[in-house]
Structure formats: C-alpha cells, structure tokens
Structure 1
Amino acid sequence: MKTLYILILLVFSCFISAQNGNLKKFNDEIYVLNSKHQYEQSIIKIYEVLYNPKSSHYEKYNAYLQKSLTYKRIYNFNEAYGNLNYALEEGLKTDKVKEVNSKIAIEKFFIIFDLQRFEKIREMINDNKNIDLSLIDEETKGLYLSALAIIEIIDGNYDDANDKINNAISIYEKVSPKDLPNIYGKKMFLYQKLNQPEKVEEAFRKAMYYAEKYKTDLYIKNLAINMWEFYTHQNNLEKAKYYREIADNLKEDDNTLININSLKLIELEKKLTSDYLRKEYEAQQKKQLLIIVGFVIVLGILGYLGFTLFKNRKKRLAVESENLEIRKKLDEILFNSKNETEDSDFKNTNLTDRQLEIIELVKVGKTNKEIGAELYISENTVKYHLKIIYNTLGIENRWDLR
C-alpha cells in the first residue's frame, strides 16, 4: 500500500512538472516574440490557448497574463489592466487562488507604477502588505522590490531603498541577468538623489555591461537619457552632451508606431475572436446535426426492433393458436380411437389421403421438414398428422411405419 502511495505521488509530481515546463516554454516563446516586436504572433499563440477546449483554467489564466504583458510592452495600459481582470477570473477557478491573487495584485501594481499614480501606488502598497511573496516567481519578486525601492527613495528612506535594490539585483543575477539594467537604473536613481556622481557612474557602467551583453538597445537608450538628464541637472554640459549623443545614435521609439501596433492588436483580437466563435458555432452545429442523425438512427432501430417484435409475437400467437387447435383435434381423436385395435392395413383405417401420403414419405426416410416442404404444409402440421397416425395405428414412432 505504501509503495502504491509513493507511486501515485511520483506520477502526480511528474504531471505537475510537465505542466509547469509547458507553461515556462510558452511564456518564453511569448517573451521572445515580444522582444522582436512580433506582437501579432504573440496574440495568435495566446488565442490558441484561450480557445483550446483542452486548456485548463490555470493555462487560460497564464495566457491572459501573457496578453496583459504583451499590451504593457506597447504601453496600452488599459488593455493590459483589463486582461489582468480576465486572468483573475480564470485563476479563481483553479486550486491556486492565493498565488493568483498575489500575482494579479502585483501586476496591477506595476501598471499603476508605470502610470506614476503615486497616491494610488501608496494605497496599493498598503493593500499588498499581506501578500505572500514566496508564491510569486523570483523575477516578479525582484521587480516588485525594485519598484518599492523607488517609493522608498521618493520618501527619503535611502537605506531601505538600497536594501531592496540589492535584494532585487541578487535575484536577477540568478533568474534574469538580461534585465539587470532595469534594476541598476533604480540604483542610479538612488545615487542621483544622494548626489553621488561617482556611484551614479559606477551603477551606469554595470547597467551598460548587461545591456550591451544582451544587446538590449532600449535599456542602453534609457540609461543614456537618464545620464544626460542627470548631468544636465548637474550643469556638466560636456558629459550631458556625451550621453545625449549615445541616446541619439539609437533608434527612437516611435509613439505613432506604438499606437499603430496597439490598434493592430485590437483589430487582430476582434478578428481572432470572430474566427474562433465562428468555428465554435460551426462545431456546435455539426455536433447538433450528429445528435439529430444519431437520434433518427436510434429511432429507426427501435422502430425496426418494435416491428420485428410485433411480427414475431403475431407469428408466435398464430403458432400457439394452431397448436391449440391441433391439440384439441388430437384429444378428440384420442378419445374416439381409445378402444380401437391396430389394423395393419392402412387403407381400412380412418386415415385421410394426406396422412397416407405422409406415411409413404416416412417410409422412404423423409424428415418432417422435408415432408412439409414436399406437401406444402408446415412442419407442425406434419407432426400433427403423425400423432394421429400413431394413435390410429397404435404405434409409438415413425420406425414402426417402415
């Protein structure tokens, strides 16, 4: 019994590991597509999960979460926030409600943070105090700590901010070094507030190391702009000009293009939704047609069986009636021939011509069925005549006729 229990646990563990592996692979694919600005391909892959009848509620929750992150990449925060609500709706149908609530709360916090609604941010920080960060993936946890650090910096709590940033850096060094420029950017902001240019430069160099290593131009550009603004504020025009040139040499984010991408995705979603709903409708129609055809077939089979049963019952009743009639006649003959003696001369008996024909056919070895076929009478009628013959002649079986 113990062995069986362990085996069940192993099978269950393998299933969970496989499911988590599939989700990670899916999330990585969406990340790569978004990194290449192939947002439409991301949406198509996400819809394949959302409209797959075999997808679990947790898989749909994860798909809506990825859709939210996709819209966030093109700064469409309304769509990003709305998809978090859809993700929450699916996630609450799973057995991971606490994890889902924590993840959604933090992702909503990130959106409000990006919109810089600081009054709402402080309110959400207070609401999120009881969130169990152990339920959140390490990457999200690190980003959350770095966002909290910004609020600490704004509030002048520099030591607490530094601790949170260092924790975030430790996390990202293990799980997502490609995004370390984002965390070091928070470090730069801290040292700018502390007016420590040397440390700002040091944090910048570390950020640039990872940005160049992983070829993330967006991080390089944002870091350069950050340094340009810092040195402009410091009135160090030479360094400000240097960093401005770095930023200018990189491709400018086109807000018009971002808006076009956003509109494209919304139109694509409408089309995909329409296509999937049409396919669902056609599948439902086909299913209903199959049900109707199956119902008609079943009715046909039941009708045939009913007709056959009725026909057989009618035939059985006819045979029973015939047998009853034969039995009556047999009883009458037996009563009339009770005291008669055997007469070896058949022609001097009360046998009919039909019965004499049957005797002749028995003599040549014909069976009851063969006699019936030859005389165009039923086998039961043959038996009936044979009983009369036996009783009339005072014999026991057909062998006595030969």
Structure 2
Amino acid sequence: MMIKTLLHLSIMLLMFGTFCQMYSQTYDFVEIGKKVTKHNNDSEFDQTILLLEHIIEDKKATHYERYQAYSLKYQTYKRLFIYDKANFNLDLALEEGLKSEHKELVSAQVKLEKLFLAFDSLKFDEVNQLLLAIDDEDLKYITFRTQAYYYAVLGTMELKRNELKKTEQYYKKSITLLEEHDPQNLPMIYRKQIDLYRKMNQYDKSIESFEKGLYYAKEYNIDVYVLNMYFDLTYFYKQIGNLEKAVQTQEICNILAKEYNEGGVLGRLNVLESQLMQERIMKEEKRDRFIILSLTGSLLLVLILLLLLFRYLNRIRKNKQQLEEENERLRSDILHLFSKTESDVSNPVRLTERQTEIIELVKQGRTNKEIGNMLFVSENTVKYHLKNIYEVLRVNSRVKL
C-alpha cells in the first residue's frame, strides 16, 4: 500500500517536471541581439547589462541561453575596451556553453573570441599561439561576422610582417563579409586600411578609407568608432609629416574623448554590476530560506502522514485481531453446542457409568447374581443400583429397561 502510494507520488512529480520543462520560457536571441546592438549604439550600456542579467538569473534559462547572454555581455565590454571584464564574461560563457548540447560549437566560438581578445589587447605573441590552435574544423562553426574578424586579424598579422598585398587581400575579404552581414562594424577594418595604404604610399586610399569608416560610424551612431577613426587619421598625418593636420585631428580627438567619457561609462557599469550582484545575493538568500521552510513543511507533512498511516494500520491490525478472536469464540460456542446436542441425543437421561453397564447386562437377560459376579459386587449392590435406575428412568420393572 505504502510503496504504491510513493510510486504514484514519484510519477506525479515526474509529470510535473516534464510539464515545467515544456512550458519553460525560451528566448529569441536574434531579437535580443538587435536590442543589445541598439542599446550599445545609443550608449545605453546599463540597459544592455540589465537585459542580459535578467536572462542569466532566470532559473528556467538553458545552459546555451546563458552562454549566449554571457557572450553578449563579453561583446559589450570588449566594445568598451574593458578587457578584464570582457574576458571574465567570456570565461563564464564557456563554462555555461560546455554544459549544453552544443559543446563543439561553443568551444570553437570561444577559441576565436579568445583570439580577438588577445588581438585587441595587443598581445601578439598570444595571438600567434592561438592562430596555430585554430583549425578548419573550428571555422565550420563560426558566423560570417566572426569570419570577417578572423580575416582582419590575419591581415594585421601579415601587416606586421610587411606582407602588404596579403594584408590588403585579407582586409578586402573582411570588408566584403561585413558589408553584407555586419556593416556597423566596418569602421573597424577601414581604420586599419588607413595605415596599410600609408605603407603602400597610396595616401588617397588612406583618406578614402577614413571617410568610409567615418560614414559608417556616424550612420550607426557608434561614438567609439568615430573617435577611433580620427585617432588613426591623426597617426597617419604624423607619420607622413603633415603636422598641421595632425594637430587639427588631435584636437578633434580630444573633444570626442571628453564627450565619449569611457571612464564614466565604466563607473556606471561597475556600480550597476555591484547592485545586480547584491540583488542576486539577496534573491539567493530569500530563495534558500524559502527552500528551507518548504522542506521543513514538507518533512512535517510527511511525518504527520506517516503517523496517520501508522495509526490507521495499527487500528486495522487490532480490528483484525478482535475479529479473529470473535470468530474463534463463535467457532468454540458452535462446537460446544453441537457436542452438547449429540450428548443429549445419545444419553437423554443422565446415568452413571455403572448404571449404564447394569442396564446393558439386564437387557442381555442376566440375573442379579450373575451381574454381581461379572461386576465383582454383591447381589444387594446390584439391587440397589436397579432401584436407583428405576427411579431415574421412571420404570417399575426390569422388563421395561
């Protein structure tokens, strides 16, 4: 009985768990990615963090959904050049992603992002090591956007080796992919072409690259790209000896840097992250208290149910025992009744054993003397017994015996 009840309870819990999984919330990361891009382009980085933290804290979110949320946080901090926080979130993304069913994809994507992070941090020895670790199998899992960044890294590494033609080819491949799949990040490649064409003595193409990069930076309202385009143009003018224009563009850089205020953004995000962490801790403490109270209540309920079950089973046992005892008494009474009835039928008048023997001998025709000899008593004793027999049986002669 108890085992069957526990089995039914287990089945109900399993069905409930399945129901929760079927109706758990899922996230559309295409739309979320668009929201993140818009927030970041509008310098609303705090809104990006709030949006992504909501997903990360959601207990119903899958490991792969958390991987994507952490990846978007990584991209946000990398865009702000806050590389320590970018790397921290990339590690968290990898941790979640490896718990999902997309381990190969996650491993390949994170490997590429580690490459870009090392590249942006100017750790070129690490870049060379990571490039050796990336194979064709990894490239199967990357998006066109990531492939464009990969070509940009390859181009820049060729530029460091002064392989200018190879650099130009890689940059063109990157631009072609970004024009179709991620045009807002085209300034990232055009700024690199400024220095490439300077080294190739094609200054007109350097200026053309600046103008194209500046156009896309303003088109998508990305302040940091506007600042970077002027920064690289300043470096270009310094390198070719045009100090007048270098000073002019440097002044523009100074103005843009004040407006951009990266430090202020970092400060706001640090405060926001701290607040979110505190809220998360409070939620976890509240959840832990709720779990403890729920478990305590459940334990008390189970104990009460077990006590009631014990009392119920004990009552059944006692009732069964009483019923068996009552049946035994009835059986004994019935057997006694049958025994008494048979005794009354076989001997309706109560006679002693000696009297019964004398009656049998009288019926055989024995005389008093013969009966006395056979029973080893005197004849007078036989007569005495006969007298009592006559009284008990209410007869007056031996013939009626």
TM-score (norm 2): 0.72
Q: What pairs with 1:3-402 in structure 2 (closer than 5 Å)?
A: 22-130=28-136, 132-244=138-250, 246-248=252-254, 250=256, 252=258, 253-336=260-343, 338=345
CA 1:143 to 1:212, structure 2 compared with 1: closer, same or farther past 3 Å? same
For 1:75 and 1:212, how far apart are their aligned partners in 2?
A: 19
Contact 1:34–1:70 (CA under 8 A) maintained in structure 2: yes
Retained in 1: the 8 A contact 2:159–2:196?
yes
The AA in structure 1 aligned to 2:223 is D
* Cα displacement string for residues 88-123 of structure 1 (whole angstroms, at most 9, x for unaligned residues): 222222232221111111111122111112222222
- In 2, Cα distance between equivalents of 1:40 and 1:285: 34
Calculate the aligned-residue CA RMSD, in Å. 2.8
Residue identity in the other structure for 1:296: L
Secondary structure of the 1:293 match is helix
Distance 1:211 1:39, change over 3 A: closer
Once residues 150 and 207 of structure 2 are traced to their aligned partners in structure 1, the CA distance between those partners, rounded to angstroms, is: 24
Residues 74 and 208 (structure 1), Cα distance of their counterparts in 2 relative to 1, 3 Å cut: closer
Q: Which runs of 4+ in 1 moved over 4 A?
A: 336-341
Q: 1:269 to 1:204 in 2, by over 3 A?
A: same
Q: How many correspondences in the alignment?
A: 324
Matched AA of 1:181: P
Q: CA 1:76/1:251 → structure 2, altered by over 3 Å: closer, same or farther?
A: closer
Work out whether residues 43 and 269 of structure 1, in 8 Å CA contact, stay in contact via their aligned partners in 2: no
CA–CA distance in 1 between the matches of 2:178 and 2:125? 28
Gaps of at least 5 residues in structure 1 are 1-14, 342-402
Letter in 2 for 1:38: E
Paired with 2:216 and 2:69, the residues of 1 have a C-alpha distance of 29
**Paired residue secondary structure (1:250):** helix
Distance 1:151-1:197 versus aligned 2 partners, 3 A rule: same
Deviation at 1:254, TM superposition (A): 2.5
Post-superposition offset of 1:158: 1.5
Report the secondary structure of 2:30's partner residue.
helix
After superposition, give the CA deviation of every residue in 1:321-353 in whole Å (9 maximum; x if it has no partner). 332133224313542565899xxxxxxxxxxxx
State the distance in 1 between where 2:66 and 2:101 align. 14
Report if aligned partners of 1:33, 1:41 keep a CA contact under 8 Å in 2. Answer: yes
Measure how far apart 1:257 and its partner are.
Answer: 1.5
Counterparts of 1:283 and 1:142, CA distance in 2:
49
Q: Judging changes above 3 Å, is the alpha-carbon distance between structure 1 residues 340 and 183 closer, same or farther for their aligned structure 2 residues? A: farther
Q: CA offset at residue 283 of structure 1?
A: 3.6
Could you tell me the percent identity over the aligned residues? Answer: 25
Give ranges in structure 2 of 5+ residues lacking alignment: 1-21, 349-401
Residue 269 and residue 185 in structure 1: after superposition, are their counterparts in 2 closer, same or farther (change >3 A)?
same
Letter in 1 for 2:310: G
- For the residues of structure 1 that align with 2:80 and 2:261, how far apart are their CA atoms? 11
| Structure-1 residue corresponding to 2:18 | none
Q: Residue 75 of structure 1 aligns to which amino acid in structure 2? A: F
TM-score by length of 1: 0.72
Following TM superposition, by how much is the alpha carbon of 1:86 offset from its aligned partner in structure 2, in angstroms?
Answer: 2.3
